[in-house]
Structure 1
Amino acid sequence: MSAPNHPAPETFLLDGRPIPFTPGQTLMQAAQAAGVYIPHLCHHADFDPIGSCKVCSVRIQGRTVASCTMPARADLVVESETPELHHDRQRLTQMLFVEGNHHCPFCEKSGACHLQAVAYHLDMQDTHFVHTAPHHEVDATHPDVWLDRSRCILCELCVRASREVDGKDVFAIGGRGAHTTLLVNSPSGQLHDSDVAVTDRAVHICPVGALMPKRQGFVIPIGQRPYDAADIAQRPEDS
């Protein structure tokens, strides 16, 4: 009996490399499945994409699109690793650094922080822009969870995780422009009288150091953390 004749998967070109995809996948999903890294911050494989950070932007026939939301189609010619896109990603990352208070040498998340890892991947040598040194509230009222809004990059991952996984809807994004901030849905607006628990997915999904469990600082020593020895592009399970 002859083997069944399965049709070859459809592909698009990403920087000259054919990337197979299945119908319904985005460019980002197909690239990740093929082991190709596209820098990103707000995307997470467990949640529907929202395209907020724009770090994953690519070029298709002169048009810039977010690869996390763009559906893959046959015969698309996609550019990701170009000097222009590299420059744009670097500037976006630099803006995130100056719009918050990211002091990597003193941060417990150092070595496991996606923002820091993306900055290293993009060879970011400085922050380029003037630091705004914004005032952000720190919420240490909960016995087990710490919220430092100065590190929040508004990726909404905790918002989605709380709503879709934890079933609690503890977090939300509010405000406009420079005053956009992470809100806590509780009578006081603080963590201590919210429904959040240290075991919640929302507490552990933060890609930076904004939401963290208390009393777990430096459990993994500096030098042994995910991005201490490997570029984020070499860790597909984390990217």
Structure 2
Amino acid sequence: MTDDRFSFTIDGVAVEARHGQTIMEAADAAGLYIPRLCDHEGLRHQGGCRVCTVKAAGRSVAACTQPAAPGLTVENETPHLQALRRSLVEMLFHEGNHLCPVCEASGNCELQAMAYRLGMTEPTKYPYLEPTRAVDATHPDIALDTNRCISCGRCIRASEDVDGKGVFGYVGRGIHRRVGVNGTDLAHSNAAVTDHAVSADVCPVGCIIRKRAGFSVPIGDRDFDRKLIGEDIEDRRR
């Protein structure tokens, strides 16, 4: 092992890493999946959703932002952590209006897929807030449905860091926080359907909608119809 590489363990499995890598980056390379929603390849890490929470040396940390360290002991798939993640995902469902049977993102939705992976298949103890949020369909090519927004910030980081535009940003506070645009509405923003922030894989749910592209992939052929979320990473160990 070279000077810039070291090893640590995740659930007792030895993982090789290099200095500067986060726990999640090293885990991904080793084929060990750590659940996540706000983190996305190619975007700066945020550590906002906390679905990637792990125990590192006995402390709860966000795997997407916590650096790996030599000899570190990480716990990932424990009953306590899985219950924590499930509660977080349940609250995201209850905070918004997620009508999966009629959503064009169904089958491609990371929130829906995470719920299946964590065993959430029925209503839970939390009350549904049922917010009233208007859909912005003023743009000729894009619609914004914040009923489905989970405040992951992926569109914001993609627009700022990749597109160099800053089209999207948060407005409001607390449970009223949602994604807004840098104009009175989408039509008066500088959003374009060619923006990376609007691409199909940046928004993990069905909040950012590209018009005339919905339901283009039939049921049964969508991303998570035949495999669990994270299996593409786990396949690296097989």
TM over 0.5: yes
Is contact 1:97–1:127 with CA below 8 Å preserved after alignment?
A: no
Output the TM-score relative to the length of structure 1. 0.93
Which residue is 1:74 aligned to?
70
Q: Which runs of 4+ in 1 moved over 2 A?
A: 5-9
User: What is the Cα deviation at residue 212 of structure 1?
Assistant: 1.4
Higher Rg:
1
User: What is the Cα deviation at residue 136 of structure 1?
Assistant: 1.4
Amino acid at match of 1:100: G
User: What is the Cα deviation at residue 8 of structure 1?
Assistant: 9.1
Does residue 159 (structure 1) correspond to residue 156 (structure 2)? The answer is yes
Which residue is 1:213 aligned to?
210
Does residue 32 (structure 1) correspond to residue 28 (structure 2)? The answer is yes
User: What is the Cα deviation at residue 47 of structure 1?
Assistant: 1.4
User: What is the Cα deviation at residue 96 of structure 1?
Assistant: 0.2
User: What is the Cα deviation at residue 183 of structure 1?
Assistant: 1.1
Q: 1:201 aligns with which of 172, 196, 204?
A: 196
Does residue 223 (structure 1) correspond to residue 220 (structure 2)? The answer is yes
**Secondary structure, aligned partner of 2:233:** coil
Aligned residues: 231
Does residue 181 (structure 1) correspond to residue 178 (structure 2)? The answer is yes
- CA, structure 1 residues 6+57, in 2 after alignment: closer, same or farther (shift >3 Å)? closer
Q: 2:120 aligns with which of 124, 149, 153?
A: 124
User: What is the Cα deviation at residue 7 of structure 1?
Assistant: 5.9
Structure 2 unaligned segments of length 5 or more: list them. none
Distance 1:60 1:236 in 2: 21
Distance 1:51 1:6 in 2: 29
Q: 1:134 aligns with which of 125, 131, 136?
A: 131
Between 42-51 and 81-90, the greater mean CA deviation after superposition: 42-51
Amino acid at match of 1:146: A
Does residue 47 (structure 1) correspond to residue 48 (structure 2)? The answer is no
Instruction: Encode CA deviations 1:171-215: one digit per residue, 9 max, x unaligned.
Output: 1012211111111111x2x00011001111111211100001001
Is contact 2:10–2:73 with CA below 8 Å preserved after alignment?
A: yes
**What is the identity percentage for the equivalent residue pairs of Structure 1 and Structure 2?**
49
**Secondary structure, aligned partner of 1:37:** coil
Structure 1 unaligned segments of length 5 or more: list them. none
RMSD of equivalent CA atoms: 1.5
**Secondary structure, aligned partner of 1:235:** helix
Q: 1:89 aligns with which of 85, 89, 92?
A: 85
Is contact 1:98–1:127 with CA below 8 Å preserved after alignment?
A: no
Output the TM-score relative to the length of structure 2. 0.94
Between 220-229 and 172-181, the greater mean CA deviation after superposition: 172-181
Is contact 1:95–1:127 with CA below 8 Å preserved after alignment?
A: no
Amino acid at match of 1:155: C
